[in-house]
Amino acid sequence: VGYGANPAFPEVIQRKRQVIADAVRKYKEFLRTPQDIIRYVGGFDIAALCGAMVRCGELRIPFVLDGFITAVAFACAAKIHPDVARVMIPSHLSKEPGMKYALALGGINEDEVPIRAGLALGEGTGAILELNILRTMLYTVAHIDQMAHLEAEAMEACRAKSS
Protein backbone atom coordinates (compact mmCIF):
# COMPACT_ATOMS: atom_id res chain seq x y z
CA VAL A 1 0.00 0.00 0.00
CA GLY A 2 1.05 3.57 -0.49
CA TYR A 3 0.04 7.11 0.31
CA GLY A 4 -2.07 7.64 -2.76
CA ALA A 5 -2.75 11.31 -3.37
CA ASN A 6 -2.32 12.21 0.30
CA PRO A 7 1.28 11.84 1.59
CA ALA A 8 0.72 14.48 4.28
CA PHE A 9 -0.57 11.93 6.81
CA PRO A 10 1.96 9.11 7.41
CA GLU A 11 -0.29 7.62 10.09
CA VAL A 12 -2.78 6.71 7.35
CA ILE A 13 -0.30 4.45 5.55
CA GLN A 14 0.66 2.81 8.85
CA ARG A 15 -3.01 2.10 9.52
CA LYS A 16 -3.50 0.68 6.02
CA ARG A 17 -0.50 -1.60 6.44
CA GLN A 18 -1.67 -2.73 9.87
CA VAL A 19 -5.17 -3.58 8.65
CA ILE A 20 -3.77 -5.70 5.81
CA ALA A 21 -1.16 -7.39 8.01
CA ASP A 22 -3.83 -8.24 10.59
CA ALA A 23 -6.16 -9.65 7.92
CA VAL A 24 -3.39 -11.76 6.37
CA ARG A 25 -2.39 -13.08 9.79
CA LYS A 26 -6.00 -13.83 10.77
CA TYR A 27 -7.00 -15.51 7.50
CA LYS A 28 -3.64 -16.94 6.37
CA GLU A 29 -4.90 -20.54 6.21
CA PHE A 30 -7.79 -19.50 3.93
CA LEU A 31 -5.72 -17.51 1.38
CA ARG A 32 -5.35 -20.13 -1.36
CA THR A 33 -6.90 -18.62 -4.49
CA PRO A 34 -7.27 -15.10 -5.88
CA GLN A 35 -10.95 -15.27 -4.93
CA ASP A 36 -9.97 -16.14 -1.34
CA ILE A 37 -7.53 -13.24 -1.17
CA ILE A 38 -10.19 -10.79 -2.41
CA ARG A 39 -12.77 -12.27 -0.04
CA TYR A 40 -10.61 -12.02 3.08
CA VAL A 41 -8.24 -9.12 2.37
CA GLY A 42 -9.65 -7.14 -0.58
CA GLY A 43 -12.52 -4.72 -0.79
CA PHE A 44 -15.75 -4.51 -2.74
CA ASP A 45 -14.07 -2.26 -5.30
CA ILE A 46 -11.39 -4.85 -6.05
CA ALA A 47 -13.96 -7.67 -6.18
CA ALA A 48 -16.18 -5.75 -8.62
CA LEU A 49 -13.26 -4.73 -10.84
CA CYS A 50 -11.85 -8.26 -10.85
CA GLY A 51 -15.22 -9.71 -11.84
CA ALA A 52 -15.62 -7.19 -14.64
CA MET A 53 -12.10 -7.91 -15.91
CA VAL A 54 -12.68 -11.67 -15.88
CA ARG A 55 -15.85 -11.14 -17.93
CA CYS A 56 -13.93 -8.89 -20.35
CA GLY A 57 -11.38 -11.68 -20.76
CA GLU A 58 -14.13 -14.20 -21.48
CA LEU A 59 -15.80 -11.94 -24.04
CA ARG A 60 -12.52 -10.56 -25.43
CA ILE A 61 -13.52 -6.99 -24.65
CA PRO A 62 -10.57 -4.62 -24.16
CA PHE A 63 -10.40 -2.46 -21.05
CA VAL A 64 -8.00 0.20 -19.81
CA LEU A 65 -6.13 -0.43 -16.57
CA ASP A 66 -5.86 2.74 -14.51
CA GLY A 67 -3.79 2.84 -11.36
CA PHE A 68 -2.95 0.68 -8.41
CA ILE A 69 -6.38 -0.56 -7.29
CA THR A 70 -7.19 -1.69 -10.82
CA ALA A 71 -3.74 -3.31 -11.05
CA VAL A 72 -4.48 -5.34 -7.92
CA ALA A 73 -7.84 -6.41 -9.37
CA PHE A 74 -6.06 -7.21 -12.64
CA ALA A 75 -3.46 -9.39 -10.88
CA CYS A 76 -6.30 -11.45 -9.38
CA ALA A 77 -8.32 -11.53 -12.61
CA ALA A 78 -5.31 -12.67 -14.66
CA LYS A 79 -4.77 -15.58 -12.25
CA ILE A 80 -8.46 -16.55 -12.49
CA HIS A 81 -8.69 -16.18 -16.29
CA PRO A 82 -5.34 -15.82 -18.13
CA ASP A 83 -6.97 -14.28 -21.23
CA VAL A 84 -7.57 -11.12 -19.19
CA ALA A 85 -3.96 -10.07 -19.87
CA ARG A 86 -4.65 -10.21 -23.63
CA VAL A 87 -7.44 -7.63 -23.47
CA MET A 88 -5.98 -5.30 -20.84
CA ILE A 89 -4.54 -1.99 -22.04
CA PRO A 90 -2.28 -0.39 -19.43
CA SER A 91 -2.50 3.38 -19.05
CA HIS A 92 -0.02 4.63 -16.48
CA LEU A 93 2.50 3.38 -13.97
CA SER A 94 1.14 4.57 -10.64
CA LYS A 95 3.66 5.82 -8.12
CA GLU A 96 2.18 3.41 -5.54
CA PRO A 97 4.87 0.96 -4.39
CA GLY A 98 2.80 -2.15 -5.21
CA MET A 99 2.00 -1.16 -8.79
CA LYS A 100 4.95 -2.88 -10.47
CA TYR A 101 4.40 -6.01 -8.38
CA ALA A 102 0.68 -6.17 -9.22
CA LEU A 103 1.43 -5.79 -12.93
CA ALA A 104 4.09 -8.51 -12.73
CA LEU A 105 1.60 -10.88 -11.05
CA GLY A 106 -0.63 -10.35 -14.09
CA GLY A 107 2.24 -11.03 -16.48
CA ILE A 108 2.79 -7.41 -17.52
CA ASN A 109 6.24 -5.83 -17.51
CA GLU A 110 6.37 -2.22 -16.33
CA ASP A 111 8.05 -1.29 -19.64
CA GLU A 112 4.75 -2.07 -21.38
CA VAL A 113 3.02 0.79 -19.55
CA PRO A 114 3.14 3.96 -21.68
CA ILE A 115 2.49 6.83 -19.25
CA ARG A 116 5.04 7.69 -16.53
CA ALA A 117 3.61 10.72 -14.77
CA GLY A 118 3.77 9.83 -11.06
CA LEU A 119 -0.03 9.66 -10.84
CA ALA A 120 -1.80 8.42 -7.70
CA LEU A 121 -5.06 10.32 -7.81
CA GLY A 122 -7.62 7.54 -8.13
CA GLU A 123 -10.15 9.18 -10.42
CA GLY A 124 -9.19 7.68 -13.76
CA THR A 125 -6.82 10.37 -15.02
CA GLY A 126 -4.44 7.82 -16.53
CA ALA A 127 -7.24 6.09 -18.44
CA ILE A 128 -8.38 9.40 -19.91
CA LEU A 129 -4.82 10.19 -21.01
CA GLU A 130 -4.43 6.69 -22.45
CA LEU A 131 -7.66 6.94 -24.46
CA ASN A 132 -6.36 10.12 -26.07
CA ILE A 133 -3.09 8.37 -26.94
CA LEU A 134 -5.06 5.47 -28.46
CA ARG A 135 -7.25 7.85 -30.48
CA THR A 136 -4.15 9.58 -31.83
CA MET A 137 -2.60 6.24 -32.78
CA LEU A 138 -5.79 5.07 -34.52
CA TYR A 139 -6.07 8.36 -36.40
CA THR A 140 -2.45 8.07 -37.51
CA VAL A 141 -2.91 4.51 -38.76
CA ALA A 142 -6.16 5.37 -40.54
CA HIS A 143 -4.58 8.39 -42.25
CA ILE A 144 -1.05 7.12 -42.87
CA ASP A 145 -1.32 7.52 -46.64
CA GLN A 146 -2.36 11.16 -46.27
CA MET A 147 0.40 11.76 -43.74
CA ALA A 148 2.99 10.16 -46.04
CA HIS A 149 1.77 12.40 -48.89
CA LEU A 150 2.06 15.51 -46.68
CA GLU A 151 5.54 14.45 -45.59
CA ALA A 152 6.61 14.01 -49.23
CA GLU A 153 5.26 17.49 -50.07
CA ALA A 154 7.12 18.99 -47.11
CA MET A 155 10.36 17.28 -48.15
CA GLU A 156 9.94 18.56 -51.70
CA ALA A 157 9.32 22.09 -50.41
CA CYS A 158 12.51 21.90 -48.34
CA ARG A 159 14.51 20.71 -51.35
CA ALA A 160 13.08 23.53 -53.48
CA LYS A 161 14.11 26.13 -50.88
CA SER A 162 17.61 24.63 -50.67
CA SER A 163 18.26 24.88 -54.39
Q: 3-state SS of the chain?
A: CCCCCCCCCHHHHHHHHHHHHHHHHHHHHHCCCHHHHHHHHCCHHHHHHHHHHHHHHHHCCCEEEEHHHHHHHHHHHHHHCCCHHHHEEEEECCCCCCHHHHHHHCCCCHHHCCECCCCCCCCCHHHHHHHHHHHHHHHHHHCHHHHHHHHHHHHHHHHHHHC
The candidate with the shortest Cα–Cα distance to 71, out of 36, 117, 131, 120, is: 120
Active site residue 110: no
Among 110, 123, 151, 156, which one carries the catalytic annotation?
A: 123
Residues forming the active site? 123
